[in-house]
Amino acid sequence: MGKVPVENNDTEGKKNEFSLVRIKSTWKRKLGMKAKMNTTDHVSAAKIYESIEETGTSWTVVSPIVFTYKVTEAQNLLDPCNDTLLLGHITDPQQVEDMKKSSKPLKRFVVVDQEVFKIYGSKLTEYLEANNVLYKILALPTTEENKSMEMALKIIEEVNTFSLDRRREPIIAMGGGVCLDIVGLAASLYRRRTPYIRVPTTLLSYIDASVGAKTGVNFANCKNKLGAYIPPTAVFLDLSFIKTIPRRHISNGLAEMLKMALMKHRGLFELLEEHGQMLLDTKFQADNSRYGHNHIQAASQATRIAITTMLEELAPNLWEDDLNRLVDFGHLISPALEMKVLPSLLHGEAVNIDMSYMVYVSQESGLLTEEEKQRIIRCMVGLELPVWHEACAMELIQKSLQDRLKHSGGLFRMPLPVGLGQADIFNNTSNEILHRAYEKWCDELSVSSDSNCDPSPARIPTLHQF
């Protein structure tokens, strides 16, 4: 090593900006990029800022992190002739060709919800074997009650035993939102980040959990309290999986679709308002002839608008640096409600009850007209979603909002509709408005004081009441 000169005192207070340049197999910092470089040198987007003070030197590292992931509509993912599930995440065409020509078999670890495995397990196995894949299928009961670090660690242990290449052999997650969240967290922890692919099999996960970066598990009786922001390498959306889920789960997914409609897209709201029953009846399947071409068009428009509006909100704010998030609509009270009555309410049902109350808050705040409020509630009822729950008491609402203050920089950051398909963030909603809205909400929508937590016709008001 060369001799390091002793710096003079006149360097105190000095600040330098260094770029980082790759020269052969090492990185070197260069002051202000003024030094002459060869054309073969690679310049990093990262910077190092050095500040020399009397008390010592400090270095500030600015290292931009770019994640690229594909969300792709696909058909017949488990058709042995379709290689999307195995190679669709690769962006380099030459790499795809090389892998197809290679005699080395592909290796894949697949985590699948056990209910999904009961329906598609044999088809998945046939697909992997037909494509000469070395595989391990792990079927797990990925329910909200089991959404824990223990399950994430179980996945990690199995992955470690299977011995994946952490850069070229992505883990595949097939299931609903809970499955995708747990597998995403496990992948982000194993070897500090192993690529993974999401294949949603429920409507809710199709338009919500699958297209973002969040992963997580429940902890300390709180929903998703442990997690990370690591997006998948790819998401493959195949609507054919939706046809095997119960009607209640279609409604469950429609709640998240309605959320995006109320926050951002009046056209989507009107589509759900007019065609919601048809979407429930046909389960978004193109081969249903009962409703003809109008159904196919409505189903395609609804899913694409919901995903596009969701990505518009998520892509610029993947790590939630900005806490003002319209996609939090329906998620201020619902996490506590969902955990309190677990497993009685599905996620989308809890979200819709939250949204229903907030619609009343919006109307009491003068942001929605009475007619707009009634249209929204009618639409919710038409989508067969619960609009009120006895466990959603004022005490739970107030505690949820206090927790919101603690975790959102001392502000409520309350997304509220200000018309159909428009919204804004509010921090100054008074307790008086919250209480008035709650009283009116209960007076108009509570249908029986002794109802249980299971959604039933007795718990969901009929359309003629509005």
pLDDT digits (tens, 9 = 90+) for 258-286: 999 999 999 999 999 999 999 999 999 98
pLDDT of residue 454: 46
Radius of gyration of the chain (CA): 26
Q: What is the pLDDT of residue 453?
A: 40
Q: Which two tokens stand for residue 244?
A: 């095997």
Question: Cβ(396)–Cβ(332) under 8 Å?
Answer: no
* Helix, strand and coil in the chain, % to nearest 5: 45, 20, 35
User: Residue 141 above 90 pLDDT?
Assistant: yes
So what's the pLDDT on residue 448? 42
Domain holding 172, by residue range, is 70-245
Instruction: Please indicate, yes or no, whether residues 127 and 56 belong to a single structural domain of this protein.
Output: no
The catalytic residues are: 214
Average pLDDT, the chain: 91
Quick check: is 125 in a domain?
Answer: yes
Q: Answer yes or no: is 184 within a domain.
A: yes
User: Domain for residue 22, yes or no?
Assistant: yes
Same domain, 199 and 282: no
Model confidence band, residue 464 (pLDDT cutoffs 50, 70, 90): very low
Give yes or no: residues 222 and 306 share one domain: no
- When divided into structural domains, the chain yields a total of 3
End-to-end, the C-alpha distance of the chain in Å comes to 82
Element (H, E) at 438: helix 431-445
Q: What is the pLDDT of residues 168-222, one digit of tens each?
A: 899 999 999 999 999 999 999 999 999 999 999 999 999 998 999 999 999 999 9
Of the pLDDT bands very low, low, confident and very high (cuts 50, 70, 90), residue 11 is: low
Given a cut of 60, whether residue 294 has pLDDT beyond it is yes
Choose between 15 and 134: higher pLDDT: 134
Residues 154 and 270 in one domain: no
301: confidence class by pLDDT, cuts 50, 70, 90: very high
Q: In whole angstroms, what is the distance from residue 109 CA to residue 166 CA?
A: 11
pLDDT at residue 166, as a whole number: 79
Average pLDDT over residues 21-47: 79
* Sign of the C-alpha dihedral computed for residues 259, 264, 265 and 270 taken in this order: positive
Whether 217 and 296 share a structural domain: no
Residue 451 lies in a domain: no
Residue 89 maps to a domain: yes
Does the pTM surpass 0.75? The reply is yes
Whether 141 and 233 map to the same domain: the answer is yes
Domain membership of residue 456 (yes or no) is no
CATH at 440:
1.20.1090.10
> Is residue 2 a part of any domain in this protein?
no
User: Between 386 and 100, where is the model more confident?
Assistant: 386
Q: How many other CB atoms sit within 10 Å of the CB of residue 232? A: 29
414 and 370 inside one domain: yes
Domain shared by 42 and 135, yes or no? no
Could you check whether the bond before residue 80 is cis, i.e. omega within 30 degrees of 0? no
Indicate whether 106 belongs to any domain: yes
Q: Are residues 140 and 280 in the same domain?
A: no
Q: In which band, very low, low, confident or very high, does the pLDDT at 457 lie, cut at 50, 70 and 90?
A: very low
Same domain, yes or no: 74 and 51: no
Q: At residue 14, does pLDDT exceed 90?
A: no
Using CB atoms within 10 Å of the CB of residue 127, give its burial: 0 to 12 exposed, 13 to 18 middle, 19+ buried: buried
